[in-house]
Amino acid sequence: MKYRTLVSAAALISLAFAAPTFAKPKPADTPAVIANGPVTPMTPDMMPRYDSIRPDADYIKRVEMIPMRDGVKLYTVIVMKKGTKDGPILLSRTPYDAKGTMARSASQSATEILPAMYEEFVNDGYIIVTQDVRGLHGSEGDYIMNRPLKGKAGNTGSDDSSDAYDTIDWLVKHTPESNGKVGIIGSSYLGFTSLMAEINPHPALKAAVPQSPMVDGWMGDDWFHNGAFRNNTLSYVAGQTTNKAEGGGGIPEGVGDDYSRWLKAGSTGDYARQWGLDKYPFTQKLMQNPAYTKFWSDQAVDKWLGEQPLKVPTMLVVGQWDQEDSYGAPAVYRAIEPKDTANDMVTLVIGPWRHSGVNHYGSELGNLQFTGDTAKEFRDKYLKPFFDHYLKGAPDPKTPPVLTYATGINQWQETAKWPMGTMTPLYVGDGFTASFTKPATAGHDDYVSDPSKPVPYTPRPVGFDNGTQWKTWLVHDQRFASDRPDVLVYETAALDAPVHIMGAPQVDLYAATSGTDSDWVVKIIDVYPNTSSEGAGQGHVGIEMAGFELPIGIEIFRGRYVHGFGTPAALTPGRVENYKFSLPNVNHVFLPGHKIMIQVQSSLFPLYDRNPQTYVDNIFNAKPADYKAATESVYRGGGQASAVWLPIVQ
């Protein structure tokens, strides 16, 4: 019927302007719903763990809880290359997290997950073992800082000697890939635990390499130096003794200059109380024992070792510029070397390194450049052959009794004993000169030491958390201190021949103060010519070293202990006292054209706490009124001829 096709004109116009309508398409990214398909539940998305060691890894890693004789279990990580057989065990016992130490990176290569120092060992079939000391990180039990030997400093119920023995006993019985021989190694606190393993050692312990070991925390390792307290100890204690060292304990002081922060706080005790650090048990022990009491002497590891028979071949290692533990290794060497009648069981090594630098990269330190990676050279040529001989039956490498690196001429030197050379006095003289000739006339030089303006130990701003600053402060150019009015500077003429020293320079200082207490800081410094003519072959970097004042040794002595470390007493104002103490052990050559400088001052802040210069029973509790300026006098010539005695090799 035609009427269905007929429309009015109006309808046609309406249709012409109407929007077209189409079926709405689905968005391209909308998936089709599959009827009767699998239903995915909305479950939690957390995995309990991920096995980072894949089937193609080149190593085996085991975690064991090794039982001690008292039932406490210690967290232990064991790593070896796949296919290892008859492998010696290289053990370290640490307070610094065995789990993290043995997982340096996420890798399928043993050399990449382990610290760099282990590369040569693990590739040569060694079994690498690291264990948390009791009470920290993954280990059970209670933690005591540098846990003393049982019966020596209170009954602690256990010690790191017996824990090492029990650990070694378990390892040789439960590690089928081993050859039953064990060596122990470690630096700093791990150097301490390495030494402890040598006391009543397990028969399977065949060799030990304690590096920069903590030996006597009052005499010169970590906490004090000759009675002067090291302020950065407090932050270490907080981090180490909070929550099993698993976090927390950081001091929330923000960023800024530690010099200003510590000065504003007042005494070190005031600083501890301000930040709640006085609540820590070890801080309380420190503050209760500012003098060398039985508390400290009973913990001296060199004394313990001196009472023991020499059973384990030992290589003692320390850095010439060790900013933390320069005292321990030489002290142990002095204690045990006399027992080495054949001169073949004890070796002392002094390298051109910072603290623990032997295990890192040894091509430079601060502005100093050496000829090659001295740390790797030592590990390859001396350390590993030492262990290979005792743990793998390799030929005797004829390890020298003493191995030291001569800075200034940059070469390793082997000697039969330590120290070497003849002790020769370098005198301070009039006109602020220094000479090997005793001054003809007597006199003294004065300066004012003001506790409100102490001499910084490194240029400001000072940051204890600044790793680069802390690691290299002992080689920092001393010109920042030379021009201060509270620092005395004595200098030789330019040398016309080299002066080679091998040993620990000895301070022989005659001095007086107008106060009733005083600190004395003495530095031996190599002053470079004020030119850029010396090249990298001598450990210099051109213009950067022109006029450089390189410290060869820096040490502090708290005056109240001049008559005995265990018997502090007030100084008599104006009375001249003779202060005798050692600088760190060094092998150094002062080259022709250089000068030798002696600096004397009375503060090294904020590394060391301020001496109020008024005698108080306990400097930790000094009050603001106790801090007073004093005139300090250094005597020269006559019967009071101040000098630094240098062990000179002709």
Does residue 179 sit in helix, strand or coil?
Answer: strand
Lowest average pLDDT, out of 27-31, 165-169, 578-582, goes to 27-31
Quick one: pLDDT at residue 26? 54
Cβ-based neighbours of 490, under 8 Å, separated by 6 or more: 428, 429, 432, 433, 434, 597, 598, 599, 600
Within a domain: 408: yes
Does residue 74 sit in helix, strand or coil?
Answer: strand
**Final residue of a structural domain among 354, 380, 415:** 415
Within a domain: 530: yes
Within a domain: 49: no
**Final residue of a structural domain among 277, 296, 315:** 296
Burial class (CB in 10 A: 0-12, 13-18, 19+), 25: exposed
Based on the fold, state whether residues 305 and 411 are members of the same structural domain: yes
- pLDDT, tens digit, 9 for 90 and up, residues 375-419: 999 999 999 999 999 999 999 999 999 999 999 999 999 999 999
pTM of the full predicted structure? Answer: 0.92
Q: Rounded to whole angstroms, how far apart are CA atoms 165 and 406?
A: 37
Based on the fold, state whether residues 288 and 309 are members of the same structural domain: no
β-pair partners for 589: 500
Nearest residue to 216 via CA among 196, 192, 239: 192
Number of domains making up the chain: 3
Torsion angles phi and psi, residue 293, rounded to 5 = -80, 175
CB atoms < 10 A from the CB of 305, how many? Answer: 20
Within a domain: 6: no
β-pair partners for 152: none
Q: Rounded to whole angstroms, how far apart are CA atoms 314 and 206?
A: 9
User: From the centroid of its chain, how far is CA 24?
Assistant: 73
Quick one: pLDDT at residue 29? 55
What is the enclosing helix (H) or strand (E) of 264?
helix 258-265
Based on the fold, state whether residues 291 and 301 are members of the same structural domain: no
Based on the fold, state whether residues 275 and 343 are members of the same structural domain: no
Tell me which DSSP letter residue 456 carries. Answer: B
- Tell me the one-letter amino acid at 367: N
Q: Which domain holds residue 448?
A: 422-649
Q: Tell me the average pLDDT across 346-364.
A: 97
* Distance set, CA 390 to CA 181, 205, 398, 639 (Å): 8, 10, 12, 53
Based on the fold, state whether residues 366 and 307 are members of the same structural domain: yes
Based on the fold, state whether residues 154 and 259 are members of the same structural domain: no
**Final residue of a structural domain among 296, 324, 344:** 296
* Distance set, CA 647 to CA 415, 442, 475, 529, 629 (Å): 14, 25, 20, 23, 35
CB atoms < 10 A from the CB of 514, how many? Answer: 18
Based on the fold, state whether residues 381 and 489 are members of the same structural domain: no
Binning pLDDT at 50, 70 and 90, where does residue 535 land? very low
Within a domain: 352: yes
Based on the fold, state whether residues 449 and 597 are members of the same structural domain: yes
CATH classification at residue 67 = 3.40.50.1820
Within a domain: 587: yes
- pLDDT, tens digit, 9 for 90 and up, residues 4-55: 343 444 443 343 444 444 455 555 555 555 567 778 999 999 999 999 899 9
User: From the centroid of its chain, how far is CA 499?
Assistant: 29
Within a domain: 389: yes
Q: Tell me the average pLDDT across 62-68.
A: 98
Based on the fold, state whether residues 198 and 261 are members of the same structural domain: no
CATH classification at residue 273 = 1.10.3020.10
Q: Rounded to whole angstroms, how far apart are CA atoms 241 and 146?
A: 12
Which ranges of 5-159 would DSSP assign to H, the alpha helix? 9-17, 98-101, 110-113, 119-123
Quick one: pLDDT at residue 257? 96
Based on the fold, state whether residues 571 and 430 are members of the same structural domain: yes
CATH classification at residue 592 = 2.60.120.260
Rounded to 5°, the CA angle 279-280-283 comes to 105
Within a domain: 26: no
* Euclidean distance between the first and the last CA atom of the chain, given in angstroms as a whole number: 134
Cβ-based neighbours of 37, under 8 Å, separated by 6 or more: none
Based on the fold, state whether residues 371 and 438 are members of the same structural domain: no
Based on the fold, state whether residues 622 and 517 are members of the same structural domain: yes
